[in-house]
Structure 1
Amino acid sequence: MTGRTATTNRDPNSSQTAVFEVRYTKAADKTGWLWIKLENDPEPTVKKTVSEYTKVTIQKKEGGRTYFLIQEGRYANQVGSLSDANVSKCLIPFKRGNGAVLNVKKIGRKIEKSPFFPRPYNQLFSTLSFNGKTARITIDSDVDFEERNPASPNNGKILHSKPLPDGKYKILAPTYSGNPDFTIGYRAAYPNLKADTVWFHIEYAPTYNSNFVHVGNLSEGCITCYEISKWNDLYDYLITNRLDSKGKYIGTLIIG
């Protein structure tokens, strides 16, 4: 579809040139999220974001803005727009990978105090291998936590964490930002840290997809990148891949 053009109506005095070009979103900052405006938005005062490398199709340029059809994710099949000044850096040509692969090998339990928390936790440390690199991760911190997933029947209840069972899982593309309060300490300690609020859901029906791949030193059963300095590499690898043509899945997680 790259480079194809058409007119938006049949009136010769008001037709606009529409350019149908496939592009991929890129954040203007280190958050990993691109702020956009939705056409006919019923909640215009609520900011809307899409994750990086979301597929879009440019439709037209009008009134200083570029309009595009969002092909994937939370706002799929809706029309978004950006100011023309931001298009060159935020809507880019790109070739995504065909699916990330994460391999987790357990090391064992160790009580360790993180510099980011006042007390030690009983961490289930593991080694994460990805894209020719490795990172120290924790896959469970042996803690009580409040379930905050509205899709879960346990939403609002206090549960005790446990690691995901050995097996193979699909990793979902991110759809909304995590709570920045959860990762503020990591941002302060690592000024170059990016995309700390981008959390990747892991598809697992028993927990209603409540497990994530994310950065941090506390795991409620998530694949948590304990080695904070490795997060940027892990994030870049994940976000630039899609496993399926519809962009629903990032890749595959293998534990064990």
Structure 2
Amino acid sequence: MPLTNNRGTSNSRPSSLHVVTGKIMYSRKATEEGWLKVKLDNGNFDFLHENVKLIVKGEKNARLYLLVASDKSNLIGQTISLQQENALKYLSSKGPMQKSASIKVEYVGKPVKTTSRFKGDLIQQFANLYVNGSIIKVTLNSLWPPKYSYSPIPAGVHKLMSPDNSHAKNAPTDWYRKAFSPGVITCNDIWFPIELNGEGGNSSRYIHLGNLSEGCVTVYDVEKWNVVYDYLINHRIPGTKGMYVGEITVVT
């Protein structure tokens, strides 16, 4: 760990922090859901996903203080802090690739009624998601007019944004993770917002795991979620302050 310093007799605590002001570090997940809890200067708490760029400001009272430099618009420019022991565990000098991720979604036929092992009978618009050499089954819509107003994502090239915040309150996904052996699914609460072509910002459509879609690109083969997650979380489009991870091409 780059922040450790075991040299010198004056440092009697093994694995203690050696603070280097201005050093760039990156966040790591602290929970299976995918988040790292940090303290703000005002005493409140917030959460970082992986690979948020942080700049070391200093250490005081066994806490490391860092400036948020990327990814989360509500935190960029703010100071956060971690307990020293957590800084050792959940910070790294290795960040994401400064390169746009590129994935593709291709519709598979017309909507069909199917029985989900998690959600029961639903009419699903299925598609194939091509990501990093893998082909993964996704659903693009499960709830249809006239009762619902949702529709599958349109054809085109759309931007993918960095994760925004937890969706556990309104759309919990932890039970997908718990249905498998530990480690098969991680970061289940990390959703990647989609910026639709011609529109600005989060369209309220996401890439996430699950068996029900309200117009999102929902990873139906949930046990393959981490193929998608690992690829996207490790990319950032250069020059966007980490706000965008890549592009998704949708073909009907």
TM-score (norm 2): 0.83
1:198 to 184, 190, 197: 190
Specify the alignment match of 1:101 in structure 2.
Answer: 102
Specify the alignment match of 2:129 in structure 1.
Answer: 128
Is the partner of 2:22 in helix, strand or coil? strand
- Listed one character per residue, the Cα deviations across residues 8-36 of structure 1 (whole Å, up to 9, x for unaligned) are xxxxxxxxx76110011001222211100
1:160 to 129, 136, 149: 149
| Count of equivalent residues | 225
Pair 1:238-2:228 in alignment: no
Specify the alignment match of 2:175 in structure 1.
Answer: 185
* Cα gap change, 1:237 to 1:207, in 2 (>3 Å): closer
Is the partner of 2:21 in helix, strand or coil? strand
* Cα gap change, 1:75 to 1:102, in 2 (>3 Å): same
Contact 1:138 1:219 in 2 (8 A): yes
* Cα gap change, 1:95 to 1:197, in 2 (>3 Å): closer
2:57 to 21, 34, 59: 59
- Listed one character per residue, the Cα deviations across residues 47-84 of structure 1 (whole Å, up to 9, x for unaligned) are 31011100010110111010000012131100000011
Is the partner of 1:182 in helix, strand or coil? coil
1:213 to 184, 194, 207: 207
* Cα gap change, 1:210 to 1:63, in 2 (>3 Å): same
* Cα gap change, 1:22 to 1:208, in 2 (>3 Å): closer
Is the partner of 2:231 in helix, strand or coil? helix
Q: What is the one-letter code of the residue matched to 1:67? A: Y
Contact 1:39 1:80 in 2 (8 A): yes
- For residues 14-33 of structure 1, the aligned pairs below 5 Å read 19-33=21-35
Contact 2:161 2:202 in 1 (8 A): no
Distance 1:208 1:35 in 2: 23
Contact 2:33 2:174 in 1 (8 A): no
Q: What is the one-letter code of the residue matched to 1:69? A: L
Is the partner of 2:108 in helix, strand or coil? strand
- Listed one character per residue, the Cα deviations across residues 115-167 of structure 1 (whole Å, up to 9, x for unaligned) are 1124x11111111011111211111113469xxxxxxxxxxxx8421011100
Give the C-alpha shift of residue 208 in structure 1. Answer: 5.8
Is the partner of 1:160 in helix, strand or coil? coil
* Cα gap change, 1:239 to 1:209, in 2 (>3 Å): same
Give the C-alpha shift of residue 218 in structure 1. Answer: 0.4
53-62 or 107-116, which deviates more: 107-116
Pair 1:247-2:242 in alignment: yes
Specify the alignment match of 1:172 in structure 2.
Answer: 161
Is the partner of 1:186 in helix, strand or coil? helix
Contact 1:50 1:175 in 2 (8 A): no
Query: Structure 1 stretches (4+) deviating beyond 2 angstroms?
Result: 142-145, 204-208
Q: Percent identity at matched positions?
A: 31
- Listed one character per residue, the Cα deviations across residues 165-199 of structure 1 (whole Å, up to 9, x for unaligned) are 10000011012111255213312212432111111
- For residues 5-44 of structure 1, the aligned pairs below 5 Å read 19-41=21-43, 44=44
Specify the alignment match of 2:47 in structure 1.
Answer: 49
Distance 1:167 1:105 in 2: 11
Is the partner of 1:89 in helix, strand or coil? helix
TM-score (norm 1): 0.81
Q: What is the one-letter code of the residue matched to 1:33? A: W
